[in-house]
Amino acid sequence: MTTSQSNLSDLSRYVFKSPNWQISVFFSLALAAVVGASAFQSMEGGTTIFSSIIDNMILGVFFIGVPTLLASFFTPPIDRMLGGKITYNRSSLLALVCEIIVVVCLLFAKVVDLLFNIESIVYVVLIASLAIIFAFRLAIVMAISHKNPFIASIPASIQTVTAAAIYAVAQSQVVKNGVGPNLLIGPGSGKLYFQSYAMGPKNSITEIISVGIQGELLLLVGMSIIYALGVWGLIVIIDRPWRKTLGVSGFDFIRGFIDYIAEDSRGLEDFFESIGESAVVPVTVMSYADLRGKQKACFSLPMLHPGPMGTIGGGNLPESLARDTEGMAFTPHATAGHDFNLTTAREVDSIISVVKRAIEDVELYENATRSVRSRVGEAEIVGQMFGDSAMLIVTYSPGCADDIDYAVGLSAMAEARGQGLRNVMLIDAHNCNNGTRGGVIGHVTPGSQRSFDLFEAAKDVSKKLVQEDQNSFELGVAWDKTKWGLEEGMGPLGIRVAVIKVGDQETAYVQIDGNNMDPGLRDRIVEENELVDEIEIITTDTHIVNTIDAVNQVGQRIPHNELIGKIQELIKEAKEDCESVVAGMSSRKTTVTVFGNDMTETLASHANAMISMGGALTAAMIIATISISILLFLFAAA
């Protein structure tokens, strides 16, 4: 995972599931009551302090809470009528946030009024805050529901329109009848003067902007249009690079990303599918059956990357494969990077079908070689031959590595087959990485020294294997889901161990359902092994653990001693489970839709640029719209 991809995945920590609408509504009404008790003053007054406070709380709920309540409940049905998908939970949370924005703005205005005796600022800020929440709601609705700003403005305007209507009607009653909440101060029938949440009348209040009710509504409309144009312009500018280079909207990506993290929606897969490319990938299986013909264990290796994150695409590919495999399923990591992520989870079903057909094609052999190792440069391979095919596992430990390029893997397998092997299962152990620390990602790419080290190691170990004698062998397996979960970097498959005994040599293959390992942990497990002659540790590279954190490696949160103890315990169980077996390997090819060449990095870099650029542009937009708003108020006052 590159730095750009890591930064993008890190954004998931800031996305949260919307609380139940009942919670948001409760807090909005409670806030309205508190603000009403402290900021409103009924012109009739109460007979006691307590009754006066109650009256003011009711006024607060009416003038602040009711617009929030109406926005909470009317936004979803109106939005859905227009083809949107805002839920009641999201709508209520959005309305509550907008209420808080209005309250904070007016409290700021009140402080300025008290410090500098600028009564008109309360009125100005009230109008501006109603326009602000319209623009804010417009941005959110466009981000999560609608692309068209004109359609999005309909559900976005509900809170502003209802608040303005309630204030206008109430103030008209104050002007005509002299009753109602003290939001209006000043002489003159038919005029609307907002003191908003200011505390009571003042003896020598300065007449502020003096326009009729219609004029004030025009001011609000003008402010809303200015702010909405600012939001729309910001969206167009930010979205332009996406449309120009990728032909899609970046907000479709953001919308899908938020929907997945917050609501477990599949909208993000639709986006990935629209930009994906077809690819032909090998699917290799290594099947072990007992002497009765029942499959005891199976290594399944589609040449794909189990990403991009969570359960999106192939993010949970290892568990999906294991669930549909007879016997103990091992689902190691293939030599493929993020460009070979499946675009949708639907593609996983087609991979499972190919795996099942490949298992049916397997020709079983009674003999196997001892496992052998070869190290060339940084690349170390442990290999074992079964019949006419071999399983090879490559690690770069103690060096840090993260994903071997698809083309590099194909070339390495070609080198191995060139030594006389019929089928080759090349597994990326994926067992030593430092995340994105130090700026070195560790990808094994074409033309790199590591790629040539791998080619030579694959050639050397394969040459040794074809020269080895083959004998009957035994297999034992063990599995523990473990007490650790996704937060600790452990996937649902836990730890699985296969021990293969050929003659007097025992080799343990340990699979951990995680995404890479802390540097040094793999080497420590190997060094402390006294139970078998050879051992190798592999991870599945499952990305289901990456909804917790972009970098959530095995050993990062799991105590190393406890992990080593659990592995040793499972090796003992697997040794006790050993029995005579037969084994064979087969391979098929299938066509699936994947991200495509360099698409992952392109998406990540565009999204990160969108976020960084968005902050600066938002600040510029706010300054510009505030300046225009001030000019508009000065013009109206004149």
Q: Is pLDDT above 70 for 28?
A: yes
Percent of the chain topping pLDDT 90: 54
The answer on 486 and 354 residing in a single domain is yes
Cα–Cα distance, 487 to 292 (Å, whole number): 41
Domain final residue, candidates 173, 194, 214: 214
Nearest to 604 by CA among 250, 333, 142: 250
Give the 3-state secondary structure of residue 126: helix
The answer on 378 and 507 residing in a single domain is yes
Percent of the chain topping pLDDT 70: 83
Give the 3-state secondary structure of residue 540: coil
The mean per-residue pLDDT over the stretch 489-508 comes to: 98
Convert the pLDDT of each residue in 101-153 to its tens digit. 988 887 887 787 778 877 667 677 778 889 999 999 999 898 888 888 999 99
> Which pLDDT value is given to residue 166?
84
> Which pLDDT value is given to residue 608?
72
Half-sphere exposure (Cβ direction) of 3: Cα atoms closer than 13 Å = 6
The mean per-residue pLDDT over the stretch 374-397 comes to: 98
Convert the pLDDT of each residue in 156-207 to its tens digit. 999 999 988 887 777 666 545 544 444 433 333 223 333 333 333 333 333 3
**pTM (2 decimals)?**
0.77
Radius of gyration over alpha carbons of the chain, in Å?
Answer: 33
Q: Is residue 577 part of a domain?
A: yes
Cα angle vertex 179, ends 174, 185, to 5°? 50
The answer on 325 and 200 residing in a single domain is no
Query: Cis peptide leading into 398, omega within 30 of 0?
Result: yes
The answer on 481 and 385 residing in a single domain is yes
Lowest-pLDDT choice from 263-267, 472-476, 570-574: 263-267
Q: Is residue 81 part of a domain?
A: yes
The mean per-residue pLDDT over the stretch 433-462 comes to: 87
> Which pLDDT value is given to residue 198?
36
Nearest to 368 by CA among 498, 190, 277, 250: 498
Half-sphere exposure (Cβ direction) of 407: Cα atoms closer than 13 Å = 9
> Which pLDDT value is given to residue 188?
31
The answer on 302 and 159 residing in a single domain is no
Number of domains in the chain: 2
Cα–Cα distance, 184 to 175 (Å, whole number): 8
Q: Is residue 633 part of a domain?
A: no
Q: Is residue 244 part of a domain?
A: no
The answer on 383 and 476 residing in a single domain is yes
Highest mean pLDDT pick, 60-64, 197-201, 544-548 = 60-64
Q: Cα dist. 229→504, 547, 621 in Å?
A: 77, 35, 10
Q: Is pLDDT above 70 for 267?
A: yes
Return all residues near 496 (Cβ < 8 A) that are at least 6 apart. Answer: 328, 329, 330, 477, 478, 479, 510, 511, 513, 570
> Which pLDDT value is given to residue 620?
80
| Mean confidence (pLDDT) of the chain | 85
The mean per-residue pLDDT over the stretch 583-609 comes to: 86
The answer on 328 and 198 residing in a single domain is no
Domain final residue, candidates 197, 214, 231: 214
Q: Is residue 153 part of a domain?
A: yes
The answer on 210 and 282 residing in a single domain is no
pLDDT band at 598 (very low <50, low <70, confident <90, very high): confident
> Which pLDDT value is given to residue 175?
47
Q: Is residue 608 part of a domain?
A: no
Q: Cα dist. 217→67, 131, 181, 214, 628 in Å?
A: 17, 11, 20, 5, 17
The mean per-residue pLDDT over the stretch 358-385 comes to: 98
> Which pLDDT value is given to residue 30?
92
- Tell me which of 164 and 439 has the higher pLDDT: 164
- What's the DSSP call for residue 554? B
- Tell me which of 521 and 3 has the higher pLDDT: 521
Q: Is pLDDT above 50 for 7?
A: yes
Q: Is pLDDT above 80 for 49?
A: no
Q: Is pLDDT above 70 for 78?
A: yes
Q: Is residue 473 part of a domain?
A: yes
The answer on 76 and 176 residing in a single domain is yes
Q: Is residue 4 part of a domain?
A: no
Domain final residue, candidates 214, 241, 257: 214
The answer on 422 and 294 residing in a single domain is yes
> Which pLDDT value is given to residue 515?
94
Convert the pLDDT of each residue in 449-459 to its tens digit. 999 999 999 99
Return all residues near 586 (Cβ < 8 A) that are at least 6 apart. Answer: 284, 285, 287, 358, 359, 361, 362, 363, 423
> Which pLDDT value is given to residue 182?
46
Longest dimension (CA), the chain: 107
**Would strands 534-539 and 579-594 be described as parallel, antiparallel, or unpaired?**
unpaired
Show the domain range for 441.
277-595
The answer on 288 and 382 residing in a single domain is yes
The answer on 45 and 147 residing in a single domain is yes
- What's the DSSP call for residue 421? -
The tokens of 272 are what?
């990935």
Q: Is the Cβ–Cβ distance between 471 and 303 less than 8 Å?
A: no
The mean per-residue pLDDT over the stretch 553-570 comes to: 97
pLDDT band at 37 (very low <50, low <70, confident <90, very high): confident
Q: Is pLDDT above 50 for 447?
A: yes
Return all residues near 388 (Cβ < 8 A) that are at least 6 apart. Answer: 365, 421, 422, 423
pLDDT band at 3 (very low <50, low <70, confident <90, very high): low
User: 34: part of which helix (H) or strand (E)?
Assistant: helix 21-39
